[in-house]
């Protein structure tokens, strides 16, 4: 059995990396989208850079997968 750890990115709103990646998979493409969808970065703001990095990684991963499908 593989245990995947839960990584909290936004402690103020208890938002996990998994939730950010899921929101990106559903079409979020900016921090504004994450703010609306999850509330990321709406309190202290310390999570904004990490959340943005995860969002960009997730979008990059999905573009790579899609370009592989199109090939």
Would you say residue 48 has pLDDT above 80?
yes
Report pTM: 0.81
Residue spans of the domains in the chain: they are 8-70
Tell the CATH topology of 8-70: Arc Repressor Mutant, subunit A (1.10.10)
Mean residue pLDDT of the chain comes to: 89
Cα 24 to Cα 70: distance, rounded to the nearest angstrom: 20
pLDDT band at 37 (very low <50, low <70, confident <90, very high): very high
Report the pLDDT averaged over residues 11-25. 96
Cα 42 to Cα 32: distance, rounded to the nearest angstrom: 10
Which region among 12-16, 37-41, 51-55, 61-65 has the lowest average model confidence (pLDDT)? Answer: 61-65
- DSSP state letter for 25: H
Q: In angstroms, what CA-CA distances link 14 with 2, 6, 48, 63?
A: 23, 11, 14, 28
- Count CA within 13 A, CB hemisphere, residue 18: 5
């Amino acid at each position: 059995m593989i245990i995947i750890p839960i990584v909290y990115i936004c402690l103020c709103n208890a938002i996990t990396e998994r939730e950010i990646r899921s929101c990106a998979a559903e079409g979020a493409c900016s921090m504004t989208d994450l703010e609306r969808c999850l509330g990321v970065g709406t309190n202290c703001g310390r999570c904004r850079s990490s959340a943005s990095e995860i969002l960009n990684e997730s979008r990059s991963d999905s573009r790579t997968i899609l370009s592989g499908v199109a090939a």
